[in-house]
Structure 1
Amino acid sequence: MSLLSAHAVCRAYRRFSLVGAGKSTPVLHEVSFAIEAGETVALLGRSGCGKSTLARLLTGLEAPNAGEIRFKDRSLQGFDTDTWHDFRRTVQMVFQDPQSAVNPRLTIGEIIQEPLRHLTTLTPTERDAEVARLLSSVGLVASDAHKYPHQVSGGQLQRVCIARALAPRPALIVLDEAVSNLDLHLQRQTLALFKTLKREFGVAFLFITHDLRLVSQFCTRVLVMDAGRLVEDRAVTQPLTLHSAAGKALTQAVLPALPSRPKRPSERFSTEGVFE
């Protein structure tokens, strides 16, 4: 039984104006694939190919026009309140733009506490301690909990969003270009944290990106999308070899090399207290 799967999923959007509804524009065309527990899957594709739309469907933020999304072999369309609660705790998402993914009126501590309040049974004191541990796990400090989003950098705020996703101890994290706002060294350190979570706690990841360097570093299987269709599904090899036209186009993109190691030992993230 797959942890999360898409079955012939289609999604289209219709624009509306003062003169009425416009023509429906298809974005996804019968996309089907599955993610197993503990698996690390990359979803590759150029901007505008439908990757983020698919992510919203997989996390239940939108519903498909046709086909279905299944969680542990149950369709999201038939979920009751208790099943949605289990789904929200089990499947978390980190968005590409951290500024639009947080409430600017909340402190960083309050942002991370949101899933702890709604999806766990921790007491207020336990939640405060968990926030401090989660901040440490992504390379921030406990005092950052008292800051507001505008008081930290974009890269730091993205790490706050990663900490929030880790808070309810999910079984699957969907990363929608989640490390694109981090510099190369922070990208490497963040991937090291994700690898530790995968190895020690069996967390699965869907890593949405257009950067093949990160796929080679982190993933075991790669899916390639083009114009809303899934055009390739294969194991990650070293070096990474793709055979679809869309995959070859991404392979030919010129990107700088990833650094071999962090600059200083003090820059490394800690995983202490995560998923204890």
Structure 2
Amino acid sequence: MSFLSADGVSHGYASRRSLLRHHPAPPVLEAVSLDIAQGETLGLLGRSGCGKSTLARLLTGLETPRQGTVRFQGKAISTLDKPGWQAFRRQVQMVFQDPQSAVNPRLTMADIISEPLIHLTDLPRAQHPARVAELLDAVGLAHRLARRYPFELSGGQLQRVCIARALAPRPSLIVLDEAVSNLDLHLQIQMLELFTALKRDVGVAFLFVTHDLRLVERFCSRVLVMGAGRLVEDRPVTSPLTLESPEGQALCQAVLPAFPAQMTALRERLTIESVS
């Protein structure tokens, strides 16, 4: 049984109207089906506007598909009761591309990271500061930043706070919607090292929503390629990664700078661990 799946999911947004004519909006997703296994590292690859972020929001329950079903451990999330929904929210976390819009500007970093501890776990309040400090260490941030507000942090620091918040309830799946693309290369390597350790030690699954083929090639075990609201390719990741669909080939042909030796070493270690 899949940990998280989509079955024939279609979605769209309201059409535009003007005084003179009606402009029907094209569908964003059309009959998309996929499965994510426990502990899997899956890449969702596609160009901007192809529908991959919308699919991520449907998979995490932030939006409801117009057609089709999203299932969590075999149950449609639309039918989950309150305990079931809380279990889903605890086990499936998401990190967005824009950290500024994903946090409350009136809360400190400690408050932001503590939100899922309060609402999704039974951890006593007295133990929250220690857990926050542990999470700040995990994402490479100083403890003193726990008292800061979002406007006092850089974009990269705030994104790492969002990653720490996602890690707080110890989820089974983390959806990363271009969540490391805006980090500099050093921080990308640091975050991928953290994700690798989580996958190895506790079996956390990841869905990387990205347009960066390099990231998929070096961290994911399977890749889905999207184009115009549809899944057009599903294949295991090889090094070098070769894709057959026109959308995948266009991404392969994009000129991107090579990753340094640290990234190559990370990919080699992941390959060895997956075989052993």
TM-score of the aligned structures, taking structure 1 as reference length: 0.92
Q: Show the counterpart of 1:139.
A: 140
* Amino acid in structure 2 at the alignment position of 1:151: E
Q: Which range moved further: 13-22 or 201-210?
A: 13-22
Equivalent position SS for 1:258: coil
Instruction: Tell me which residue corresponds to 2:117.
Output: 116
Gaps of 5+ in 2: 264-276
Instruction: Answer yes or no: is the 8 Å Cα contact 2:16–2:25 preserved in 1.
Output: no
Structure 1 residue runs of 5 or longer lacking an equivalent are 263-276
Residue aligning to 1:198 = 199
The alpha carbon displacement at 1:21 in A equals: 7.4
Aligned to 2:170: 169
Deviations along 1:51-77, one digit per CA (max 9) or x if unpaired, are 000000000000001010000000011
Q: Give the Å deviation of 1:129.
A: 0.5
Match of 1:2 in 2: 2
Q: Which residue of 1 aligns with 2:267?
A: none
1:106 is matched with 107
Aligned partners of 2:249 and 2:16: how far apart in 1?
37
- Whole-angstrom distance in 1 between the partners of 2:142 and 2:17: 48
Contact 1:14 1:25 in 2 (8 A): no
Instruction: For 1:66-81, list aligned pairs within 5 A.
Output: 66-81=67-82
2:14 is matched with which residue?
A: 14
State whether residues 59 and 93 of structure 1, in contact with CA within 8 Å, keep that contact through their aligned partners in structure 2.
Answer: yes
Structure-2 residue corresponding to 1:150: 151
Residue in 2 that maps onto 1:92: 93
8 A contact 2:7–2:69 mirrored in 1: yes
Q: C-alpha separation between the residues in 2 aligned to 1:60 and 1:216?
A: 28
Give me the identity figure in percent: 64
- Describe how 1:123-272 pairs up with structure 2 within 5 A: 123-261=124-262
Conserved in 1, the CA contact under 8 Å of 2:99 and 2:159? Answer: yes
1:23 CA displacement? 1.9
Q: Which moved more, 1:131-140 or 1:19-28?
A: 19-28
Letter in 2 for 1:10: S
SS class of match (2:118): helix
Tell me, in whole angstroms, the C-alpha distance in 1 between the residues paired with 2:201 and 2:4: 21
For residue 32 of structure 1, give the secondary structure of its aligned residue in structure 2. Answer: strand
Give, in angstroms, the shift of residue 261 of structure 1: 3.3
- Following superposition, the deviation at residue 18 of structure 1 comes to 7.1
Judge conservation of contact 1:185–1:261 (CA < 8 Å) in 2: no
Distance 2:86 2:194 in 1: 26
How far apart in 2 are the matches of 1:15 and 1:99?
28
Deviations 1:178-234 (A, max 9, x none): 001100111111111101000000000000001111111110000000000000000
Is the Cα contact below 8 Å between 1:116 and 1:167 reproduced in 2? yes
Letter in 2 for 1:205: F
The residue type paired with residue 112 of structure 1 is I
Q: Which amino acid aligns with 2:8?
A: A
Secondary structure, counterpart of 2:13 in structure 1 = strand
CA distance in 2, matches of 1:83, 1:138: 29
Cα deviation 1:23-64 (Å, max 9, x = unaligned): 242000100010000000000000000000000000000000
Q: What RMSD, in angstroms, separates the aligned Cα atoms of the two structures?
A: 1.4
Classify the secondary structure of the residue corresponding to 1:216: helix
CA apart distance, 1:14: 1.1
Q: Distance in 2 between matches of 1:32 and 1:113?
A: 34
Contact kept, 8 Å, 1:30 with 1:67, in 2: the verdict is: yes
Distance 2:97 2:25 in 1: 26
Q: Conserved in 1, the CA contact under 8 Å of 2:46 and 2:227?
A: yes
**CA drift at 1:142:** 1.1
Give the Cα separation in 2 of the matches to 1:45 and 1:38: 22
Give how far 1:22 is off.
4.9
